[in-house]
């Protein structure tokens, strides 16, 4: 799956935008939802993005590094289906 919900995105000059972080983590989360055969209301990715960033907020640079985003994303992928189903958020994702 390839999603780009917010224009721009990516790590420019070593800086991470909120949109790129939301996109990467959202893709990982929704992939786990699919792998665990869990259901969501509406489109998983669209719902995730709406709660993470919208519009120009997605273009804002954040203080998290790409390495921190990658750690969060990897921790989401490593979660059990029970953790995903319960809505548990990995601790590494708390400050992104």
| pLDDT tens per residue across span 16-38 | 999 999 999 999 999 999 999 99
Residue 79 domain-assigned (yes or no): yes
Residue 1 domain-assigned (yes or no): no
Split into its structural domains, the chain has a count of 1
Residue 65 domain-assigned (yes or no): yes
Residue 5 domain-assigned (yes or no): no
Average model confidence (pLDDT) across the chain: 87
Tokens of 92: 């590494």
Q: Which domain holds residue 51?
A: 14-93
Residue 70 domain-assigned (yes or no): yes
Estimate the crossing angle of helix 66-78 against helix 18-35, to 10 degrees.
10
Task: Name the pLDDT band for 40 (thresholds 50, 70, 90).
Answer: confident
Positive or negative, the CA dihedral 39, 27, 20, 66 is: positive
Task: Round to whole Å and give the CA distance between 41 and 49.
Answer: 13
Residue 64 domain-assigned (yes or no): yes
Residue 6 domain-assigned (yes or no): no
Residue 2 domain-assigned (yes or no): no
């Amino acid at each position: 799956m390839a999603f780009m919900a917010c224009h721009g995105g990516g790590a420019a000059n070593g800086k991470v935008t909120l949109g790129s972080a939301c996109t990467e983590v959202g893709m990982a989360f929704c992939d786990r939802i699919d792998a665990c055969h869990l259901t969501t209301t509406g489109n998983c990715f669209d719902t995730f993005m709406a709660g993470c960033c919208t519009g120009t907020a997605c273009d804002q640079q954040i203080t998290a590094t790409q390495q921190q985003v990658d750690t969060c994303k990897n921790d989401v992928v490593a979660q059990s289906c029970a953790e995903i189903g319960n809505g548990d958020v990995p601790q590494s994702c708390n400050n992104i």
